[in-house]
């Protein structure tokens, strides 16, 4: 009987492992569907307001369009990294803008959670709490931290999607215009579709103060569609990435050193009266020592 029980347990373990590996492969295929050339439509609208200020003015509805190349940078067993590049201007003379980056890590336990005022708190989760999950780590245009969260990819009824809610800084469209809240509680849903993929968001605009409960100032709906088009339309972005890959590999390596300290992180807003991306976007900023020095100058605290 013991041999039968042992054999049954072994068969169950092998079957469970095979199913988990098949699911993981399916997850990765869904993530990599977000690579390629896309016509993107960005839509954001403030939906509900909870301010007690009678003079409160909601953010204007914003709709924008663009052409975006999503470059596969890393394709490893437990990691997929995708760099987004905007291609703007006339098709015959386009201008390339390095946009956001998303890294996907399998069963990741280390997190930097945004806490407002350019501060990220390091959190370590138990392995059992992230089993079978993928963490999406989103980075700013200069590869500094933005937001991250863990969740399970779901494949059901012909749908593939991933959901998570996490804290984040104000979006670029807001932080130059709004100072009445300091955290975006982002409800993210990434869904693969027959035309490409959708980034569906249900966001809270949150006021966070030490020693007080968070206050929701307003709610916002975001709905960004990525319609896949022929890769040739993003050839200029592909060429730019090849020409600039080495520089941004140095930037990512330095940031990985900072993140690897596994300590709370506070970043300066400006150094020498310039934000970090203006330093790094300088075409003369290519030397490893200069890149490392300027990034470290923005690390106000990591203790």
pLDDT number for residue 14:
58
Does 237 map to a domain? no
Beta bridge partners of 63: 43
Give the percent of the chain with pLDDT over 70. Answer: 93
Does 153 map to a domain? yes
- Residue 264: pLDDT over 80: yes
Does 267 map to a domain? no
Check residues 147 and 301 and name the one with the higher pLDDT. 147
Measured at the alpha carbon of residue 47, what is the angle toward residues 41 and 51, in degrees to the nearest 5? 135
Does 276 map to a domain? no
When pLDDT is cut at 50, 70 and 90, the band that residue 7 belongs to is low
CA 230 to each of CA 50, 115, 135, 238, 268: distance values in angstroms, whole numbers, following the listed order: 44, 40, 29, 13, 40
b/e per residue 90-119 (b: at least 16 CB within 10 A): eeeebebbbbbbbbbbbbbeebbbbbbebb
Parallel, antiparallel, or unpaired for β 159-168 and 215-229? unpaired
pLDDT in tens, 74-83: 999 999 999 9
pLDDT number for residue 109:
98
Does 241 map to a domain? no
Check residues 20 and 33 and name the one with the higher pLDDT. 33
Does 123 map to a domain? yes
Does 174 map to a domain? yes
When pLDDT is cut at 50, 70 and 90, the band that residue 91 belongs to is confident
Residue 185 lies in domain: 2-230
pLDDT in tens, 161-210: 999 999 999 998 898 899 999 999 999 999 999 999 999 999 999 999 99
Lateral strand order in the sheet of 62-76: 145-151, 134-139, 95-106, 79-88, 62-76, 36-49, 215-229, 196-207, 183-192, 159-168, 154-156
How many domains is the chain partitioned into structurally?
Answer: 1
Does 277 map to a domain? no
Burial classification of residue 299, based on how many CB atoms lie within 10 Å of its CB (0-12 exposed, 13-18 middle, 19 or more buried): middle
Parallel, antiparallel, or unpaired for β 145-151 and 134-139? antiparallel
3-state secondary structure of 290: helix
CA 180 to each of CA 126, 175, 218, 264, 279: distance values in angstroms, whole numbers, following the listed order: 35, 10, 11, 25, 28
């Amino acid at each position: 009987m013991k041999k039968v029980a042992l054999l049954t347990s072994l068969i169950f373990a092998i079957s469970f492992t095979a199913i988990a590996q098949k699911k993981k492969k399916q997850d990765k295929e869904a993530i990599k569907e977000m690579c390629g050339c896309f016509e993107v439509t960005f839509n954001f609208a403030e939906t509900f307001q909870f301010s007690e200020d009678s003079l409160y003015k909601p953010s204007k509805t914003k709709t924008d369009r663009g052409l975006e190349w999503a470059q596969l940078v890393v394709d490893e067993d437990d990691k997929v990294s995708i760099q987004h590049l905007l291609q703007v201007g006339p098709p015959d003379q386009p201008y390339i803008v390095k946009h956001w980056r998303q890294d996907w890590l399998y069963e990741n336990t280390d997190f930097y959670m945004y806490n407002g005022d350019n501060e990220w708190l390091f959190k370590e989760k138990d392995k059992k709490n992230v089993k079978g999950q993928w963490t999406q780590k989103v980075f700013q245009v200069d590869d500094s931290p933005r937001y991250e969260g863990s969740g399970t990819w779901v494949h059901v009824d012909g749908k593939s999607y991933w959901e998570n809610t996490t804290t984040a800084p104000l979006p670029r469209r807001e932080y130059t215009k709004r100072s009445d809240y300091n955290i975006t509680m982002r409800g993210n849903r990434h869904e693969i579709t027959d035309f490409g993929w959708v980034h569906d968001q249900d966001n809270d605009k949150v006021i966070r103060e030490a020693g007080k409960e968070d206050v929701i100032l307003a709610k916002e709906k975001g709905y960004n569609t990525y319609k896949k088009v022929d890769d040739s339309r993003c050839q200029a972005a592909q060429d730019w990435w090849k020409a600039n890959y080495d520089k941004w590999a140095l930037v990512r390596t330095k940031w990985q050193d900072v993140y690897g300290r596994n300590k709370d992180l506070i970043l300066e807003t400006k150094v020498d009266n310039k934000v970090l991306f203006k330093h790094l976007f300088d075409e003369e900023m290519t030397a490893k020592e200069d890149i490392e020095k300027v990034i470290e100058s923005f690390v106000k605290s990591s203790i």
